[in-house]
Amino acid sequence: MSDEATFEDPPLAQLPLDAWHRAKGARMVPFAGYEMPIQYTGEHGGIVAEHEWTRSSASLFDVSHMGQLALKDADGDPGSAARALEKLLPGLITSLKPGKMRYSLLLTEAGGVIDDLMVTNTGPHLALVVNGAVKWDDIGHLREHLPDEITLTHFDDFALLALQGPKAGDVLEGLIPGTGELTFMTAGLFEWQGAHLWVSRAGYTGEDGFEIAVHESKVAALADALVADERVRPAGLGARDSLRLEAGLPLYGHDLDENIDPVSADLTFALSKKRREAGGYFGHKAVAARLADAEAGTLAQRRVGLALEGRMPAREGAEVYAGDTKVGTVTSGGFSPTLGHPIAMAYVDTAHAADGTQLEIAVRSKRLPATVSPMPFVPHRYFRGN
Amino acid sequence: MPRYFTDEHEWIDIEGETATVGITDYAQEQLGDIVFVELPEVGAALDKGGDAAVVESVKAASDVYAPITGEVTEGNAALEDEPALVNSSPEEDGWFFRMTIGDKDELEGLMNEAAYKEFVAGL
């Protein structure tokens, strides 16, 4: 028996909650340069149990490996930081009101995705949450291309917790009154036991939930307070991955990279309509060309969902076939605990990318039947207000 | 009925001319929730140390190697409908396949239960 997982080179950094995870029975694995909990052991542990608990109640994830950055203009004008950032991504940031957040993409000049990220107007500054595995590259890219008068702060002494699941709203409102009034993709500053918390109603599971930025000195107390509620249990990276796959959310480094443009990645919603015409950002020319391709039906490939029959999963790298012709490659795949069968994301030639198209995935010596399926595979249940 | 173990965390029971192969409790614990087991075809010729089966957990696919050389005589059909048997009963009901024993001398290099326990304790 051998595990095919590959590991990054040591030395690995430790999360602020490292001891907390170990005390809870976490199995720690290297990820994004950190030792991170992939799953917990014990009565309620295991990827499937943690996955199902997230879909039915609420789970606490530690995502402190992610980069928490802030941009601010030297003269205190948040508008100039927004204008500067708009040169690096295709979203409208200047019109983002305080307390609102937006999903966007850092692009290369050729239109490739350097990273996907969340941008929030906190009022005094713009907060960015970027992927842990590429955060140092992102910082380098931002510093290189933003004017000197924009200060870039890396909040590396802050932890980030994600509370996700249908009961997350009630749980957090009980602990931190006022958080329940946030709606999906809004955020605000709260206080809890003397600690300042930046709470965003967002996440990466498809469920309602929050991401909570908290100083590393307070994170263990907050994590304890959250799991003291019997509706909340800790969950690891394994469940986070199967949940985001069901939610149809791409994972950077797998479903997105610098060779992939946002149109092929089916992320055109992140290309602000106003800015598609006006341009003025890295990659605009390439993105406009891909949009024209999509319009004309000449886009080469597109990210699609694939639903498989049976139980054998297709993993990243598996080739997708229409008859004898290779028409694509799987970029993420696994077993869906909610649906009870395997699912995958793949880049497939657009001629074979329509919903309902019957394809096959080559896994070892077998050809697995797969149907192009709309994503999300499991409906999102975000809280958009009562 | 002697039971042997490999350093790849397979177990092998010897009963007369037939061997039964599975993965150990330690292995299933490391793999986590198992969602699919791809067994070798009956009649397949296996080489000691070569690929024999694939076990798919939620997180990854892992190879299971043949502990000895021989020919597959039976796969555990129960795993088709219930791959989680490997988690719940790895060293009994969750067996993978049965095979002939091509060369009894190959058993010499395998560990007994005490040696395997010591091996796992050192990991």
A48 CB near a chain B CB, below 8 Å?
yes
Per-residue pLDDT at A133 exceeds 80 = yes
B34 CB near a chain A CB, below 8 Å?
no
Chain B residues closer than 8 Å to A313 by CB: 35-36, 56, 61
Mean predicted lDDT score pLDDT of chain B? 95
Q: Which of residues 4-33 of B touch A (CB under 8 A)?
A: 8-10, 23, 27, 30-33
Q: What is the per-residue pLDDT across A234-277, written as a single tens digit (0 to 9) for each?
A: 999 999 999 999 999 999 999 999 999 999 999 999 999 999 99
Contact A346, A339 (CB under 8 A): no
User: Measured between alpha carbons, how far is residue A290 from residues A278, A287, B76 in Å?
Assistant: 16, 5, 51
User: Residue A11: its pLDDT value, please?
Assistant: 87
User: Residue A5: its pLDDT value, please?
Assistant: 52
Please give chain B's pLDDT, 123 residues, in tens.
799 999 999 999 999 999 999 999 999 999 999 999 999 999 999 999 999 999 999 888 999 999 999 999 999 999 999 999 999 999 999 999 999 999 999 999 999 999 999 999 998
Chain B residues closer than 8 Å to A315 by CB: 60-61
CB-based contact B60 A312, cutoff 8 Å: no
CB-based contact A364 B38, cutoff 8 Å: yes
> What whole-number distance in Å separates Cα of residue B2 and Cα of residue B111?
11
Per-residue pLDDT at A10 exceeds 90 = no
Pick A4's closest partner by Cβ from B9, B62, B65.
B62
B36 CB near a chain A CB, below 8 Å?
yes
Nearest to B95 by CA among B114, B82, B111: B82
A337 CB near a chain B CB, below 8 Å?
yes
Residue A7 confidence class, pLDDT cut points 50, 70, 90: low
User: Measured between alpha carbons, how far is residue A151 from residues A64, A147, A242, B71 in Å?
Assistant: 22, 9, 37, 68
Nearest chain A residue to B26 by CA distance is: A1
Q: What is the per-residue pLDDT across B21-30, written as a single tens digit (0 to 9) for each?
A: 999 999 999 9
Whole-model pTM above 0.95? no
Mean local confidence (pLDDT), A105-122: 98
Mean predicted lDDT score pLDDT of chain A? 95
Chain A residues closer than 8 Å to B38 by CB: 312, 364
Chain A residues closer than 8 Å to B123 by CB: none
Pick B60's closest partner by Cβ from A3, A311, A312.
A3
Residue A83 confidence class, pLDDT cut points 50, 70, 90: very high
> What whole-number distance in Å separates Cα of residue A58 and Cα of residue A302?
33
Contact A95, A84 (CB under 8 A): no
Nearest to B78 by CA among B57, B64, B92: B92
